[in-house]
Chain A
């Protein structure tokens, strides 16, 4: 199975989307809030300016010579403090008639345009020392003068700006904290939402390692159909393999009986004196039998090898086998098989491989055969010891050759060991003969281990 690494991680996608949306939402919200705050602060400043201007207009007095005086001057002490940031001015910018003391030698640069009498105008104007001024102006017509007077009150905008700046800073900090919290929440949610998938992955792994036959457990409604489909697929796989194995068996079975008839006929021919013809027949029957057996064993193992969830408890497979072989040969077969140890494959295949080795050991043993199994990392190791004469190291490989038989007097097809090795290798395992106790023979079968069940 290939890993689907092409697509971006779901978790990352969820997180990325969440961060993007949270960022956009917070930025837009922040901007709106800052603008509202600015409007509010400016409206307050304007209200202050208008109040100050009303006071100023109320205090305007025109002397008999037409000169303008402000009495009493507006109360706010900042109007008297030079460049305090709060100013008033009466008259055109080119020739002001009166100014607040705070303006000192500066003039509010009011535009000299025509404005309707009484209309209020708001400006931003450059003020003394480069300050930006928020300015309110109005044309006022006094009874003693023919012309309208331009009256303006200005306040340095820096205070307003500073307030907005402070607000923006505070808001940014608050929003940053909020954004972080939301991001973490999104990540946590993503993990929580994806947790069933992680669980599903663990279950699938368990099935692949032979710890479980199917995907168990309750899954959320969104994942459950996928789990059901996977289970159906596993079921279908198992059925297909079982059918394939059965068909391979039936095919072999179907061929064996006709072969038996031909072989028996050959034996009858020998009895009737046609030894040569009978010999040819027997040879061909033997060749066909080998073909059938080798291919059957291989076909069965190949079908089961990659089946997910395949699991064969070693003790359950070997106990009846050892009992039967022991009885058959009149030998004592001692077993030491830990419970819970399982082969990742088909029980029948395990019986075939171990059966060949135990049978072989029982044939050569003088009285006792010992079968030991243990887990060794990812492997199941089955060790079969006999107390027979042993086998010289230089002959050990030879017995795995197809049709090899060390002693024609001991019955056996000679096909067994080579098939056992074939099947073990198909499963990624091995079969070897080694030195046993006291010069006797030891067969070692190594096979992939199924991890412990859930």
Chain B
């Protein structure tokens, strides 16, 4: 699960980055509208936290450009201006939800989870495949009711595959959603993570579709 945080206040960005990383997300950051726009165009994010008061290019414009270019990732707007006129501007530009500053970190994470779930077509907050249960609320995974400790990267690989269960996910797509933008990507490492996940959760959970990628079965 990969998220872009576009916020110009460095301290707040750092706090969001930490909270999101702790919740199992790979986090990219942008400090201005131009950079946010570029990243959103070029990279595949599962969700974006977008501050409306960005320098250089304001959040509403960034959002409008993404939507005009066909970028459909869920966007959670973060705004210091809590007036309805600002919210309406953000929602009209294509935002999926909004949170006003100051916000409760838990609430922001919950809204973000709901957006990602909705975008993946999931109704249940918890994803089950066989005996394996993934709960994004605590970034926890259990097998037969017992907690299975995973590293951040392993969790992201599993979460992305399970949220898109039943679909074939290519290595490239998986790479896009697991690593942050500045991470040194190596597709071998992806295979290492999948191997470890199979060891911890059972070999049948993640299927390899030859030449196409990986798939987690529907049930």
User: Are A260 and B103 in contact, with the CB atoms below 8 A?
Assistant: yes
Which residues of A sit under 8 angstroms from B101, Cβ to Cβ?
256-257, 259-260
A304 CB-CB contact with B under 8 Å:
no
Which residues of B sit under 8 angstroms from A347, Cβ to Cβ?
85
Which 9 pairs, one residue from A and one from B, show the smallest C-beta to C-beta distance?
A355-B84, A256-B80, A267-B105, A260-B101, A324-B91, A263-B102, A264-B15, A259-B102, A260-B102
The B-contacting residues of A in range 235-254, CB under 8 angstroms, are 249, 252-253
The A-contacting residues of B in range 42-87, CB under 8 angstroms, are 53, 80-85, 87
Residue count of chain B within 8 Å CB distance of chain A: 29
User: Are B103 and A293 in contact, with the CB atoms below 8 A?
Assistant: no
A68 to chain B, nearest CB (A): 123
User: Are B87 and A355 in contact, with the CB atoms below 8 A?
Assistant: yes
B138 to chain A, nearest CB (A): 12
User: Who on chain B is nearest to A264 by CB?
Assistant: B15
List 11 A-B residue pairs with CB atoms under 8 Å apart, sorted by A's residue number.
A260-B102, A261-B9, A261-B11, A261-B12, A264-B16, A268-B105, A293-B82, A320-B88, A328-B91, A347-B85, A411-B107
Q: Could you say which of A264, A282, A347 has the most chain B C-beta atoms within 10 Å of its C-beta?
A: A264
A262 CB-CB contact with B under 8 Å:
yes
Which residues of A sit under 8 angstroms from B15, Cβ to Cβ?
261, 264-265, 268
Given A265-B15, A268-B19, A348-B85: A257 and B80 within 8 A (CB)?
yes
Question: How would residues 89 to 104 of chain B score, 1 for a CB under 8 Å from any chain A CB and 0 otherwise?
Answer: 0011000011011111
B151 to chain A, nearest CB (A): 19
Q: Does more than half of chain B's interface fall in helix, strand or loop, or is it mixed?
A: helix
B137 CB-CB contact with A under 8 Å:
no
Residue count of chain A within 8 Å CB distance of chain B: 34
Which residues of B sit under 8 angstroms from A42, Cβ to Cβ?
none
- Candidates B81, B82, B92; contact of A324 at CB < 8 Å: B92
B2 to chain A, nearest CB (A): 21
User: Who on chain A is nearest to B80 by CB?
Assistant: A256
Query: Complex: how many Å from CA A279 to CA B97?
Result: 26
Instruction: Given A256-B102, A259-B102, A293-B82, output 11 extra A-B contacts at Cβ < 8 Å.
Output: A260-B101, A263-B103, A263-B105, A264-B15, A264-B16, A268-B105, A289-B102, A323-B92, A328-B98, A351-B84, A355-B87
Which residues of A sit under 8 angstroms from B9, Cβ to Cβ?
257, 260-261
Q: Could you say which of B9, B82, B100 has the most chain A C-beta atoms within 10 Å of its C-beta?
A: B82
In the complex, number of A-B residue pairs with CB atoms less than 8 Å apart: 86
User: Who on chain B is nearest to A267 by CB?
Assistant: B105
User: Are B107 and A260 in contact, with the CB atoms below 8 A?
Assistant: no
Which residues of B sit under 8 angstroms from A354, Cβ to Cβ?
84
B22 CB-CB contact with A under 8 Å:
yes
User: Who on chain A is nearest to B90 by CB?
Assistant: A324
B146 CB-CB contact with A under 8 Å:
no
The A-contacting residues of B in range 129-156, CB under 8 angstroms, are none
Query: Complex: how many Å from CA A320 to CA B93?
Result: 11
Which residues of A sit under 8 angstroms from B91, Cβ to Cβ?
324, 327-328
Which residues of B sit under 8 angstroms from A257, Cβ to Cβ?
9, 12, 80, 101
Query: Complex: how many Å from CA A263 to CA B11?
Result: 12
Query: Complex: how many Å from CA A98 to CA B15?
Result: 144
User: Who on chain A is nearest to B100 by CB?
Assistant: A256
User: Who on chain B is nearest to A317 by CB?
Assistant: B85
User: Who on chain B is nearest to A254 by CB?
Assistant: B80
User: Are A271 and B102 in contact, with the CB atoms below 8 A?
Assistant: no
User: Are B12 and A264 in contact, with the CB atoms below 8 A?
Assistant: yes
Query: Complex: how many Å from CA A263 to CA B12?
Result: 10
Query: Complex: how many Å from CA A264 to CA B107?
Result: 11
User: Are B106 and A267 in contact, with the CB atoms below 8 A?
Assistant: yes
B18 CB-CB contact with A under 8 Å:
yes
Which residues of B sit under 8 angstroms from A271, Cβ to Cβ?
22
B216 to chain A, nearest CB (A): 28
B93 to chain A, nearest CB (A): 10
Which residues of B sit under 8 angstroms from A252, Cβ to Cβ?
80-82
User: Are A348 and B92 in contact, with the CB atoms below 8 A?
Assistant: no
User: Who on chain A is nearest to B78 by CB?
Assistant: A260
User: Are A263 and B104 in contact, with the CB atoms below 8 A?
Assistant: yes
User: Are B19 and A264 in contact, with the CB atoms below 8 A?
Assistant: yes
Question: How would residues 187 to 213 of chain B score, 1 for a CB under 8 Å from any chain A CB and 0 otherwise?
Answer: 000000000000000000000000000
A405 to chain B, nearest CB (A): 14
Query: Complex: how many Å from CA A293 to CA B107?
Result: 20
User: Are B80 and A260 in contact, with the CB atoms below 8 A?
Assistant: yes
User: Who on chain B is nearest to A285 by CB?
Assistant: B102
User: Are A321 and B104 in contact, with the CB atoms below 8 A?
Assistant: no
A425 CB-CB contact with B under 8 Å:
no
A434 CB-CB contact with B under 8 Å:
no
